């Protein structure tokens, strides 16, 4: 179709589509879905080949957040029965990170619930970053701590952080319906602070909160304007005990269209499938690899994800390969434009559902707050569009903050 040919050509030239073209992608029919995936896949392969970057989350501090983000299981007033614990010690966080790196992760994302870090919190996270880098010098570290105050981004970079994640989550017009304890402008300011400090900025969205197609296009175009290196696309997991527990709007087909639209608008950026892929894409996850070049490995912040081994098998079976530690994620022109930021030379961004959501911290974003358990029994219910799939949601009970081995 002419629309897709136009979008492919624009993507190869790093040219932005129009809002009308982006909306048209979301409006395509299921009959045209494979054509949409194939077209966006051409753009993805042009800039990123068949590489898939693996990222690993470490939840440094879980629950008890004063912010009221409606999607988040760690929010103020949440009744979700999640793990709650205060700051992990640097050696505990380093051990958790090592599990992800051993499983193939190239980047570790350090996340903490809360509105934003105090200076003492920045000291804690700085010590953790140094501990991780001492154990594995090549690993990339992304901090996801919420709203930043002046000078904090610079201190994190001095400690060895490569990136900072803070999501916009939804459009500016609807942001006040989702969160009231901070503003959309606060989030934009934090992303700009990360940029200014020389960190690789990561910022994304959450789909499935009842937003319109126009809202989705608005937030993706806003992200393009902010120019992060990484855009995590999260799919809301309606977690019991949160205000959005009844919001089940997504189908695998709609998720693929959202990822395709994001790829067309942000052609040369690391697009990451973040929280909720197991719940909403389900058996169509391999198709999404033709659109996104990055995923999270193992569990999320407060929920369990697909088994890490299953992720690696999926990548191989779909004809892709895991990106190696020595490979640069971003296209050469983006690394040059950044002046060598991110990985102090690579610039590849972090993020997950919440990846900017999470009670003011970078990743929680609702979807991370409840992704699929590692394995399902034989009695799983067949998927019906729009029906709740609570059988695919499991609260994390292993890994960071527990005595059990992580899933990586």
Q: Render pLDDT for 219-265 as a digit per residue (tens, 0 to 9).
A: 999 999 999 999 999 999 888 888 888 899 999 999 999 999 999 99
65, 144, 350, 359: the active-site residue: 65
Phi and psi torsions of 305, nearest 5°: -110, -175
CA distances to 73, 165, 229, 250, 360 from 69, in Å: 9, 17, 25, 20, 8
The verdict on whether 69 is a catalytic residue reads yes
The distance from CA 371 to its chain's CA centroid, rounded to whole angstroms, is 12
| 350 pLDDT tier (thresholds 50, 70, 90) | very low
72 is an active site residue? yes
Handedness of CA 338, 342, 343, 349 (dihedral sign): negative
216 vs 123: CA distance, rounded Å:
36
Q: How far apart are CA 209 and CA 357, in angstroms?
A: 13
Catalytic residue of the set 44, 109, 257, 389: 109
**pLDDT tens profile 276-298:** 999 999 999 999 999 999 999 98
Return d(Cα 248, Cα 270) in angstroms, integer: 27
Query: Which one is catalytic: 44, 157, 187, 202?
Result: 202
202 has a pLDDT exceeding 90: yes
Given pLDDT bands bounded at 50, 70 and 90, which one contains residue 304? confident
The closest alpha carbon to 265, from 100, 24, 91, belongs to 24
Whether this prediction's pTM lies above 0.85 is answered by yes
Instruction: With a cut of 50, say whether residue 380 has pLDDT above it.
Output: no
pLDDT at 37 > cutoff 90: yes
Q: For the chain, which domains are there?
A: 17-376+384-392 (3.20.20.70)
Task: List the structure tokens of 368.
Answer: 């991370």
Q: Give the active site residue among 124, 142, 257, 266.
A: 142
**pLDDT band per the 50, 70, 90 thresholds, residue 27:** very high
Can 109 be counted among the known catalytic residues?
yes
Q: Catalytic residue among 44, 254, 272, 334, which?
A: 272
User: What was the pLDDT predicted at 74?
Assistant: 72
Tokens of 72: 């988040």
| Residue of 69, 144, 266, 350 marked active site | 69
Is the pLDDT at 79 greater than 80? The verdict is no
Give tens-digit pLDDT for 84-99: 788 999 999 999 999 9
């Amino acid at each position: 179709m002419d629309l897709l040919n136009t979008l492919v050509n624009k993507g190869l030239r790093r040219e932005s589509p129009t809002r009308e073209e982006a909306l048209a992608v979301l409006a395509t029919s299921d009959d045209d879905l494979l054509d949409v995936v194939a077209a966006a896949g051409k753009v993805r392969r042009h800039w990123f080949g068949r590489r898939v970057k693996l990222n690993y989350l470490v939840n440094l501090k879980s629950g008890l957040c004063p912010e009221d983000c409606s999607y988040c299981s760690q929010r103020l007033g949440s009744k979700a029965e999640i793990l709650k614990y205060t700051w992990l010690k640097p050696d505990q966080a380093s051990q958790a990170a090592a599990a992800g790196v051993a499983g193939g992760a190239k980047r570790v994302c350090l996340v903490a619930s809360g509105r934003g870090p105090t200076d003492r919190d920045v000291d804690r996270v700085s010590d953790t970053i140094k501990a991780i880098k001492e154990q594995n010098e090549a690993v990339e570290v992304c901090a996801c701590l919420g709203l930043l105050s002046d000078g904090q981004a610079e201190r994190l970079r001095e400690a060895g952080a490569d990136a900072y994640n803070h999501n916009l989550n939804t459009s500016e017009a609807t942001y006040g319906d989702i969160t009231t304890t901070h503003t959309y402008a606060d989030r934009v300011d934090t992303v700009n602070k990360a940029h200014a400090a020389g960190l690789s900025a990561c910022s994304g969205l959450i789909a499935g909160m009842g937003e319109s197609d126009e809202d989705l296009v608005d937030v993706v175009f806003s992200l393009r304007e902010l120019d992060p290196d990484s855009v995590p696309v999260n799919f809301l997991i309606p977690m019991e005990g949160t205000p959005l527990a009844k919001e089940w709007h997504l189908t695998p087909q709609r998720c693929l269209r959202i990822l395709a639209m994001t790829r067309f608008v942000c052609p040369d950026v690391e697009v990451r499938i973040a929280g909720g892929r197991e719940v909403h894409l389900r058996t169509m996850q391999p198709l999404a690899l033709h659109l996104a070049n990055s995923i999270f490995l193992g569990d999320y912040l407060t929920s369990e994800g697909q088994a890490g081994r299953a992720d690696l098998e999926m990548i191989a079976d779909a004809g892709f390969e895991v990106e190696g530690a020595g490979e640069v994620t971003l296209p050469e022109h983006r690394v040059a434009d950044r002046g060598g930021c991110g990985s102090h030379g690579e610039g590849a961004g972090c993020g997950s559902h919440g990846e900017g959501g999470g009670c003011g911290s970078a990743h929680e974003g609702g979807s991370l707050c409840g992704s699929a358990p590692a394995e399902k029994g034989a009695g799983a219910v067949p998927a019906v569009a729009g029906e709740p799939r609570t059988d695919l949601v499991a609260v994390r009970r292993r890994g960071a903050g527990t005595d059990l081995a992580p899933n990586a």
